A and B are shown apart, each in its own frame.
Chain A
């Protein structure tokens, strides 16, 4: 890890001013990803601005639009176990608790979860070419071992996946990210927050220089009656997703009034296909219809040497998760196995 200076900011204004003053400064929240990357010498901040004590981003509250605002600095654990989230957005609780370990969830913040970097092996290997880490050097994953890599939205520059579970649920919930920067405050729709790699894979998201996340707004609809988060991975806990699915349904009997489906582990951002959600509207919540929706969601998917299995796995996960969402009291209880 390189040497750096350190200050604590007490307000978002102070934090944003600190970023404006030094382009080599980084914000420190939970640190679970930033400190790790600095230890690997993959990230080199000259100055860290500790925002853990910043006021105004520390609570979970109902907002004026009938939804909930998640403070950027509330930990993942406090969010997942918050009574309002458990009751109104259980899909979000389930997704958060599927990620990382209890210790990491006690440290990691909501804002930081959105900003975590990929876990692509080659991104972490400082000796390997990686366009995300060093633009222009090439993508080692294309011809390398690419079992965990993306199958949708890839570019010849980068096939890394975004690793968050929480963000898959936030995508399905159509959350809105609140940010503050030198030009003031603005909001970013969740689907526009994370980027596809295209020709600029070093840019993970649409935050501008000097901006910080202050909160995440959840709209009123939480799909608390019919939801499911299914995470498929190489071991049953403390492992990143090969494929994950967040599904929220509004039903009239067995007919679907509204469907949201987001995939994790398959792309550089949580993956949603609105045509598939539109297709399900008015249809019966049946395996046949979820299969057709899955085909629409995976349209254009391309596998690489070791990850083509993800295409079929994702389709089956979408179908299974659609059925699981019909009966969340059984399938979503803590400790329930994905085979349910």
Chain B
């Protein structure tokens, strides 16, 4: 959808707008030529073929597109890729360490914290961010700070179980 909708404003041609964007994706320096209206989500999925990050609502309501940007969890669907020039992005593809699954990934498997799996990459990236923020002190607060990630299958209680297995608040204060 990133280049096809020319509904108004057709005097701005795509070619005039192309910009060079350099960012580090999962530790690898990457350069793209993009028009400014391409979201970070579309840049990841369509231009870099990193399809782990999911497009759910594409409007900031579901959290499926959550990635880490310079250490913070953000919604890639509401982020213009050009605005993240020189940033460091971590997607679900970059969460494991040399083939060793991240403890959250293992816990999601152990606790059966997904059915269809579509929200899972966003849930895990969001949980990584939540743990680094270190603000939640108990299960209710973990739930509150994970509320931006919706699971429509009904795995939500297992998702929180999996996160609680890994997250020990005391060590983050």
Contacts and interface: CB of A to CB of B under 8 A. Distances in A.
Nearest to A124: B59
B165 interface: no
Interface size class, chain B: 35 or more
A103 B74 contact: yes
Interface string A176-215: 0000000000000000000000000000000000000000
B130 A5 contact: no
B148 A5 contact: no
Contacts of B80: 6, 28, 31, 35, 48, 50
Interface in B132-154: 133, 135, 137-138, 140-141, 143-149
Interface residues of A, number: 33
Interface stretch (A9-17, A36-44, A62-70, A246-254): A36-44
A334 interface: yes
A258 to B, nearest CB: 31
B63 to A, nearest CB: 6
A159 to B, nearest CB: 23
B63 A101 contact: yes
A106 B9 contact: no
Q: Is the interface of A mostly helix, strand, loop or mixed?
A: loop
B9 A103 contact: no
B98 interface: no
B78 interface: yes
Given A28-B83, A335-B141, A3 B78 contact: no
Contact of B75 (A41, A50, A104): A104
Given A4-B9, A4-B37, A6-B36, A103 B79 contact: no
22 contacts: A3-B17, A3-B35, A6-B36, A6-B80, A35-B79, A36-B60, A36-B78, A41-B8, A44-B9, A46-B9, A48-B80, A52-B83, A101-B147, A101-B148, A102-B126, A102-B145, A102-B148, A103-B74, A106-B129, A237-B144, A334-B137, A334-B144
Closest 7 CB pairs of A and B: A101-B148, A6-B36, A237-B147, A2-B9, A3-B12, A238-B147, A335-B140
